[in-house]
Amino acid sequence: MAKHRAQRGNLFVISGPSGTGKGTICKEILNICDLKLSVSMTTRNPREGEQNGRDYFFVTKEQFEENIANGNLLEYANVYGNMYGTPKDAVIRQLERGKNVLLEIDVQGALKVKKAMDEAILIFLLPPSMEILRERLSGRGTDSEEAIERRSQEALNEIRLLGEYDYYVVNDDLTEAVSEVSAIILAEGRKVPDKVKPIIREYE
Amino acid sequence: MAKHRAQRGNLFVISGPSGTGKGTICKEILNICDLKLSVSMTTRNPREGEQNGRDYFFVTKEQFEENIANGNLLEYANVYGNMYGTPKDAVIRQLERGKNVLLEIDVQGALKVKKAMDEAILIFLLPPSMEILRERLSGRGTDSEEAIERRSQEALNEIRLLGEYDYYVVNDDLTEAVSEVSAIILAEGRKVPDKVKPIIREYE
C-alpha cells in the first residue's frame, strides 16, 4: 500500500540566531530527508552556473515589486541593494505535490512566514549557551569584540521570541541536532490530518 | 548545558486494532527510547516472580473501587472477572519527574485516557491493508473464519475513530514503524512548551 503519501507536504522553517549552525544542519537534513529546499526570488544577476528556478528565481526589480504587491512573497528583504524573497506560489506547488519544503531563514523572516502561512512549522535552533555562542562568533575571527557583543545581544533578543515557534533544538552535538530535526520532519508527516476520510477509505 | 530536560515528560498511548502489532512495537520502543511503561493496577493475584509496583499494582477489589470513585483510573476494564486499570497518580508522578510514559492499550481505552488526560499523545497503529490484517489474524491459527470476520469488522470500526488520534503509523515494515514511533517520541520532546521563560532564562 502507498502509505497515504499522496497527502499535502509540510513546510519546515529552520531558523535561529546567527552562529547556531542553521546552514550546516540544513545541508545535512537535505542529505538524509526527503524534502526540497525552497528556491528564493532575487533581483540580483545570476552568477556563473546558476540556473533560474533551481538556484534562484531571477527577476527584474519590477517583477519583484509585482510579487510584493500580489502578496506572493512570504517574506523579503533588501540585502546590499538586491532584493531577496520567498515566493509563496512555488512553495505551495511543492506542498500540493506532497513534497516537504525546507526554508532556512533568520528569526524575523521566520515569523513573517508564519504570519503569511500558518501551516508553516517553525524550528528554532538554540546554541548550547550564550558563552558557546560568543565563542562560535569569535571563532569566525572576522568581527570585533564590539560586533560580537552586539550579535550576542541580538541573539538573546531573538531567543526571547522562542514562544512563537513550534519546536526547538539545541545545537550542542551536530549529529544529535540533525537527528532531532529529522525526527520532527518524520513525526509531522505522521500527524493525523484534519480530513481522515481518505485514509479510512483505504480500509473500507 | 542540561538540554532543558527538567521539563515535564509526555504520556504516549500506543493503540490500534487487534493484529496491528502493538505489543511488538512497544517492546522495541522500550529498548531504544528513554521511557517508562505505565504500570497497571489489578485485582488479580500476583504470579510467581511478579513484583508489586513493577509488574502491576496489586490491590483488593475494594481498593480498586475506591480508585474508580476517586477518579484515579484513566481507564479500566473487567477481564475474565479481574479488574485492570491505569492509575493516573502513578503516571503523573513519572511525568513530573520528567520521564516519558508509554501506555499500550486498545482503541476504546485510549480514547478514555485522552478524555481523562488531554495532554496524552495518541498514536494509532494501522495495518498496511485489511487483507493483510485478515492474514495476520488467520495466521494465529486460533480463530474460526467467523471470528476473523468479526475481528476485521471491529478493526474497521476502530479505524473509523482515527480522527480522535494525534498520530498514525502504518505497521508495514516493523523497523520502519518503530523508527516512526520513536521519531514521534523524540519530536514531541522538542516542542516549544507553553511556558518558555525557564528556557529563555538559561540564556540571560
Q: List, for residues B5-43, the tens digit of each pLDDT value.
A: 468 999 999 999 998 999 999 999 999 998 999 999 999
Q: Which residue has the higher pLDDT, B1 or A40?
A: A40
Chain B positions in Cβ-Cβ contact with residue A192 (cut-off 8 Å): 124, 162-163, 165-168
- Sheet containing A82-87: which strands, arranged edge to edge? A56-58, A40-42, A82-87, A73-79
- What pLDDT shows up at residue A143? 74
Kindly give, in sequence order, each residue whose CB lies less than 8 Å from that of residue A25, ignoring residues fewer than 6 positions away. Answer: A14, A125, A171, A174, A177, A178, A181
Considering chain B, what is the average pLDDT of its residues?
93
Q: For residue A204, give the chain B residue with the closest CA.
A: B156
Longest pairwise C-alpha distance within chain B? 66
What is the rounded CA–CA span in Å between residue A105 and residue A88? 15
**Mutation target among A1, A133, A154 for the B interface, most CBs of B within 10 A:** A1
pLDDT at B22: 93
- Whose CA is closest to A74, among A129, A120, A32? A120
Helix-then-strand count for chain B, H and E: 8, 9
Cα nearest neighbour of B131 on chain A = A203
Tell me the β-bridge partners of B11. Answer: B101
Judged by CB atoms closer than 8 Å, whether chains meet at A156 and B203 is answered as yes
Find residue A121's DSSP bridge partners: A12
What's the CA angle centered on B169, arms B168 and B174, to 5 degrees?
Answer: 165
- Judge: B166–A192 Cβ closer than 8 Å, yes or no: yes
Closest chain B residue to A162, measured at CA? B196
- CA triple B82-B87-B93, angle to 5 deg: 155
For A178-202, the pLDDT digits (tens) are 999 999 999 999 999 999 999 999 9
DSSP B176: H
Give the integer Cα–Cα distance in Å for A154 and A163.
16
Range A102-128 average pLDDT: 96
Show residues of chain B in contact with A168, CB under 8 Å. 190, 192, 199
- CA pair distance B182, A125, nearest whole angstrom: 21
Distance CA B104, CA B101 (A): 10
Q: What is the pLDDT of residue B2?
A: 44
pLDDT at B87 over 60: yes
Strand B11-15 vs strand B121-126: parallel, antiparallel, or unpaired? parallel
Distances (CA, A) of A130 to A125, A164, B77: 13, 20, 52
Q: What is the pLDDT of residue B144?
A: 85
Name the residue facing A166 among B3, B124, B191 (closest C-beta): B191
**Which of B132, B190, B197, B200 is the best residue to mutate to test the A interface, defined by the most A CB atoms within 10 Å of its own CB?**
B190
Q: And the C-alpha cell for B149?
A: 470476520
User: Are residues B162 and A199, on separate chains, in Cβ contact within 8 Å?
Assistant: yes
A6 — pLDDT class (breaks 50, 70, 90): low
Note whether B56 and B41 are within 8 A (CB): yes
pLDDT of res. B1 = 46
Distance (Å, whole) CA A57 – CA A81: 17
Cell numbers linked to B21: 502489532
How far is A177 from A169, CA to CA, in rounded Å?
6
* H or E element at residue A168: strand A167-170
The pLDDT tens digits of the residues spanning B148-200 come to 899 999 999 999 999 999 999 999 999 999 999 999 999 999 999 999 999 99
Across the interface, whether the CB atoms of B180 and A186 are under 8 A apart is answered yes
Mean pLDDT of A52-66: 96
Nine-digit cell string for A5: 503519501
Q: Which residue of A has its CA nearest to B165?
A: A192
Q: Number of CB pairs < 8 Å for A and B?
A: 104
Whole-number pLDDT of residue A4? 52
Query: Among A181, A200, A183, which Cα is nearest to B168's?
Result: A200
A128: nearest CA in chain B? B1
Number of CB atoms found within 10 A of residue A101's CB: 22
Which of A196, A197, A201 to mutate against chain B (most B CBs within 10 Å)?
Answer: A196
In our burial notation (b when 16+ CB lie closer than 10 A, e otherwise), range B168-181 reads bbbbeeeeebbbbb
The dihedral built from the CA positions of residue B145, B147, B153 and B156, taken in this order, carries a sign that is: negative
The predicted pLDDT at position B4 comes to 52
Q: Residue B66 is inside which H or E element, if any?
A: helix B61-69
Best of B12, B107, B192 to substitute, by most chain A Cβ atoms within 10 angstroms, is B192
* CA–CA dist B157, A179 (Å, integer): 36
Distance from CA of A86 to the nearest CA of B (A): 25
Task: Please write the tens of the pLDDT for every residue from A84-113.
Answer: 999 999 999 999 999 999 999 999 999 999
Percentage with pLDDT > 70 across chain A: 96
